[in-house]
């Protein structure tokens, strides 16, 4: 290919790629290795970063790729992204909306955790953004539909912190059963209060798990190992692990369980799913644990259930509003019930630390950063939560005049015919297309492409009415 400069916009307004500056040095092979192999999630079908023998596709001088990482994304993830020579800015906390809007205008990639709200209002300012990495499990903080319709892929880490959450739950179940939080606080304050009333072994007690997914099922295994009886409620039929049994209705679980624990996603159906009526259905002296999302439990109703003695204890890791960073900010300004909550007996309050272990954060950093690199450099969407999953085998170094076309478009009839008319002047070596709702994703590797053809190719695709985003990788 000729090496003269050639600028091709990726997305409306961005024009910064220089074909003459395309770097094929991938560097950082080491980054695909987990620092703690034991805890690294198994590679999904996208696998780790592409092997060095594969041709490394990059439409940019990669120093042009701007990445903003918020909420203290683990070093492992930062290292991978910096290894690509992307410009990485990493901040410890999330940003308030006005600052986020300013920052997001420039960047191609943003990495967040559970606190940063990427609403349509924020995303509409993100003119250069091509991909979002949620360095966590939950993706409820992102407007996934708006992102997809804007051609922005979203990735997360579906289960790298599940074990950490499950272990925390086990710790909390025992702490609640033995009132450890209160005893410890009393002794910290100089009071010796040796009591056994209302303190129990967990052996033989019933654990009710609401949401039997990655976290719920891990917890099920651990709880049975401690001699607990496990029942669970889920909207889909799932095989119980060990001797755990599914119950048909939420009410059945609430009426039988000594400990009720929530592991559902935040969706419309789960908002306020545990409120006054559900507390009434629970056994007197039962315990409630929530490490899912703060909107799932009606906390004022929980406060009443605790004050009335209906609940013997509770453990909360998540709240409707959570601070953007660390500090003395868990107060009534954040949630108006906070002061009452803080006064309750045998209620464990933790600052959303369910997934906060070295193992989980390190594995998540690797997993999500690799997905981001594979998307930016190769267009691979395997593992994306809002786009169809599309991948093609790598181009090789023996294919120097090939380019990869990524065309994200509205899922309407007739688009493929028009795209293939445009690509038809070249040899289409391989192509894959898939749709998800209103959005379709096409990836094609075409050969015998002269550098001078690329702009025309790009522009023809951009001019189609169905276009959401065009990227040409080479
Ligand atoms: N506290 C933390 O640090 C922390 C860490 C990880 C995950 N989480 C939260 O926990 C949630 C669960 O995580 P996961 O990995 O187990 O998710 P998952 O998707 O693997 O499992 C969720 C389960 O909930 C079920 N479900 C959905 N709606 C339901 C409903 N209305 N009633 C009953 N069941 C329902 C689903 O069918 C699924 O089996 C995440 O969405 C996230 O919000 C919190
Ligand atoms: O969704 C998740 O994985 C958890 O809620 C953890 O979120 P965090 O990464 O913000 O701690």
How many of the other CB atoms lie within 10 Å of CB of 19? 23
Cα of 241 vs its chain's centroid, Å: 25
- The residue to mutate among 165, 166, 257, 264, having the most atoms of ligand 1 within 8 angstroms of its beta carbon, is 264
Which residues are paired to 447 by β-bridges?
427
Tell me which residue has tokens 């997914």: 213
Is there a contact between 379 and 153 (Cβ–Cβ < 8 Å)? no
In the chain, where are the structural domains located?
A: 5-159+359-393, 162-349
b or e along 215-228 (b: 16 or more beta carbons within 10 Å of the residue's beta carbon)?
A: bbbbbbebbbeeeb
Calculate the average pLDDT of the chain: 89
Helix pair angle (162-177, 358-378), 10° resolution: 150
Ligand nearest to C-alpha 214: 1
Kindly give the pairing relationship between strand 153-155 and strand 131-134.
parallel
Cα of 167 vs its chain's centroid, Å: 20
Active-site hit among 21, 167, 251, 322: 322
The pLDDT value recorded for residue 423 is: 93
Ligand 1 proximity of 208 Cβ (cutoff 6 Å): no
pLDDT in tens, 144-164: 999 999 999 999 999 999 999
Phi-psi bin for 357: left (phi > 0), alpha (psi -120 to 50), beta? beta
* Sign of the CA dihedral running 298, 329, 351, 143: positive
How many of the other CB atoms lie within 10 Å of CB of 54? 15
DSSP code for 332? T
Ligand 1 proximity of 215 Cβ (cutoff 6 Å): yes
**Neighbouring residues of 413: CB distance < 8 A, sequence distance ≥ 6:** none
Mean pLDDT of 389-412: 91
Is there a contact between 131 and 81 (Cβ–Cβ < 8 Å)? no
Is there a contact between 109 and 87 (Cβ–Cβ < 8 Å)? no
* 250 pLDDT more than 50: yes
Structure tokens of 256? 């039988």
The pLDDT value recorded for residue 32 is: 24
How many of the other CB atoms lie within 10 Å of CB of 94? 21
| CA-based nearest residue to 27, from 3, 4, 52, 55 | 52
Confidence of residue 278 (pLDDT cuts 50, 70, 90): very high
Q: What angle do CA 196, 197, 203 make, to 5 degrees?
A: 70
Is there a contact between 293 and 140 (Cβ–Cβ < 8 Å)? yes
293 is an active site residue: yes
Confidence of residue 260 (pLDDT cuts 50, 70, 90): very high
Q: How far is the CA of 474 from the centre of ligand 2 (A)?
A: 35
Confidence of residue 9 (pLDDT cuts 50, 70, 90): very low
Ligand 1 proximity of 138 Cβ (cutoff 6 Å): yes
- The CATH architecture assigned to 162-349 reads 3-Layer(aba) Sandwich (3.40)
Active-site hit among 163, 293, 404, 471: 293
SS3 at position 157: coil
**Neighbouring residues of 8: CB distance < 8 A, sequence distance ≥ 6:** 15, 17, 59, 454, 455, 458, 472
Structure tokens of 474? 């080479």
DSSP code for 371? H
Confidence of residue 58 (pLDDT cuts 50, 70, 90): low
DSSP code for 291? -
Structure tokens of 297? 């439990």
Q: How far is the CA of 138 from the centre of ligand 1 (A)?
A: 8
Structure tokens of 471? 């990227």
d(CA 91, CA 243): 45
352 is an active site residue: yes
- Radius of gyration in angstroms for the set of CA atoms belonging to the chain, rounded to a whole number: 25
d(CA 378, CA 376): 6
Phi, psi for residue 112 in degrees, rounded to 5? -135, 175
d(CA 382, CA 456): 29
d(CA 80, CA 362): 12
d(CA 304, CA 297): 13
pLDDT in tens, 161-211: 999 999 999 999 999 999 999 999 999 999 999 999 999 999 999 999 999
Confidence of residue 41 (pLDDT cuts 50, 70, 90): very low
Q: What CATH class is the domain 5-159+359-393?
A: alpha beta
Mean pLDDT of 326-339: 97
**Neighbouring residues of 419: CB distance < 8 A, sequence distance ≥ 6:** 407, 409, 442, 444, 461, 464
pLDDT in tens, 375-395: 999 999 999 999 999 999 988
d(CA 99, CA 13): 21
| CA-based nearest residue to 389, from 113, 44, 12, 11 | 44
Confidence of residue 27 (pLDDT cuts 50, 70, 90): very low
Active-site hit among 163, 352, 404, 471: 352
């Amino acid at each position: 290919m000729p090496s003269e400069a050639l600028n091709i916009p990726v997305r409306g307004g961005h024009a910064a790629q220089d074909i003459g500056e395309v770097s094929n040095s991938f560097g950082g092979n080491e980054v695909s290795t987990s620092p703690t192999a034991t805890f690294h999630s198994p590679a999904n079908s996208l696998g780790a970063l592409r092997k060095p023998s594969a041709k490394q596709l990059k439409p940019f001088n990669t120093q042009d790729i701007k990445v903003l990482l918020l909420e203290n994304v683990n070093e492992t993830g930062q290292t991978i992204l910096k290894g690509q020579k992307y410009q990485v800015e990493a901040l410890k906390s999330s940003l308030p909306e006005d600052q986020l809007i300013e920052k997001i205008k420039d960047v191609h990639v943003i990495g967040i955790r559970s606190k940063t709200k990427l609403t349509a209002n924020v995303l509409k300012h993100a003119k250069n953004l091509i991909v979002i990495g949620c360095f966590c499990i939950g993706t409820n903080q992102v407007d996934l539909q708006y992102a997809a319709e804007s051609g922005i892929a979203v990735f997360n880490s579906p289960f790298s912190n599940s074990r950490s959450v499950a272990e925390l739950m086990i710790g909390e179940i025992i702490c609640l059963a033995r009132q450890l939080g209160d005893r410890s606080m009393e002794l910290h304050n100089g009071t010796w209060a040796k009591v056994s009333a209302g303190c129990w072994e967990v052996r033989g007690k019933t654990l009710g798990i609401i949401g039997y997914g990655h976290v719920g099922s891990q917890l099920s295994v651990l709880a049975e190992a401690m001699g607990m009886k496990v029942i669970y409620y889920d909207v889909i039929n799932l095989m119980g692990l060990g001797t755990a049994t599914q119950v048909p209705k939420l009410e059945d679980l609430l009426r039988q369980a000594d400990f009720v624990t929530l592991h559902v996603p935040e969706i419309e159906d789960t908002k306020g799913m545990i409120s006054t009526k559900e507390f009434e259905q629970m056994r007197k002296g039962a315990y409630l644990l929530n490490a899912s999302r703060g909107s799932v439990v009606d906390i004022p109703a929980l406060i009443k259930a605790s004050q009335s003695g209906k609940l013997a204890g509770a453990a909360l890791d998540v709240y409707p509003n959570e601070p953007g960073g660390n500090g003395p900010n868990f107060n009534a300004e954040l949630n108006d019930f906070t002061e009452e909550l803080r006064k309750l007996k045998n209620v464990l309050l933790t600052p959303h630390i369910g997934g906060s272990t070295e193992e989980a954060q390190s594995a998540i950093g690797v997993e999500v950063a690799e997905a981001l690199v594979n998307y930016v450099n190769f267009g691979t969407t395997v593992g994306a939560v809002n786009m169809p999953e599309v991948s093609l085998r790598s181009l090789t170094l023996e294919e120097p005049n090939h380019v990869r076309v990524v065309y994200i478009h509205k899922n309407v009839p007739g688009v493929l015919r028009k795209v293939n008319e445009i690509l038809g002047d070249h040899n289409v070596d391989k192509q894959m297309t898939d749709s998800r709702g209103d959005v379709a994703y096409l990836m094609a590797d075409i050969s015998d492409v002269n550098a001078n053809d690329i702009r025309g190719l790009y522009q023809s695709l951009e001019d189609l009415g169905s276009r959401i985003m065009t990227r040409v990788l080479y």
